[in-house]
Chain A
């Protein structure tokens, strides 16, 4: 059983770890994955803020008119 699991692990790793992006993501104990997750969260949060900002600007313009 153990033999198989190691084989499976090796297979799955070789199946996914191909592109240069994968190489980065799997290095340094996969810390880059955490960094990427935080960057995604913050980017979306910032994008939402931009949308909110634009909506308020639109409302302000409507109010002035």
Chain B
């Protein structure tokens, strides 16, 4: 608990997101969405958190490759693993949301398929990591893999869905994002802080995973 103020902020922001997400005024009358517009405060932050964690993990991969310090590699992989958890939560909540708005759990859509393939890329990262016994070799292989995985990930979940001709998902293909629907700025009042809160939660979880793995590593050395 060296510096813990941001952990308090994480809890406060997410709590605010839960309360505000339900009770604050929101555009509740946009077509098939109805009140599910409020899912914006919970589904989208999952992906924000995943993207931020993966981005920071790339920085740690670079730091490992330039320094050879295994701690950096540990932090990088901890972040990827927690990011995967958030990605799974994003896929699950999105699928559930789709069932009661589009009427189906899954549909062939650039955004959905892109996100699914992106998850597979990081599943491969996980398998690659676990298949190498030697600590240093494992760190080098997975760091380099991580550097290549991230740009492909961004293309798959953001660029490719935007380039698609049609899509059901907001802000991809021919659809608009929620920012254009949020005329009174009511969503933003909750969404930004909620998103920041979830990102901080993700960072917190990653640091816990990192510290646990670090302890394990030290104990194995002795």
Chain B proximity of A50: nearest CB distance (Å): 8
Interface residue count for A (Cβ, 8 Å)? 19
Q: Which of B154-162, B170-178, B204-212 contacts A (4 or more CB under 8 A)?
A: B204-212
Q: Say whether A13 faces chain B, with CB atoms less than 8 Å apart.
A: no
Interface residue from B4, B19, B211 paired with A35 (Cβ < 8 Å): B19
Chain B proximity of A3: nearest CB distance (Å): 36
Chain A proximity of B30: nearest CB distance (Å): 20
Interface residue count for B (Cβ, 8 Å)? 18
A43 to B22, CA, bound (A): 17
A42 to B208, Cβ gap below 8 A?
A: no
A residues adjacent to B (C-beta < 8 A): 31-32, 34-35, 38-39, 42-43, 46, 49-50, 52-54, 56-57, 59-60, 63
10 contacts between A and B (CB under 8 A): A34-B22, A38-B18, A39-B19, A42-B15, A46-B11, A50-B7, A53-B1, A53-B7, A56-B215, A63-B215
9 closest cross-chain pairs (CB), A and B: A46-B11, A35-B22, A38-B18, A56-B211, A57-B1, A59-B215, A35-B19, A63-B218, A39-B18
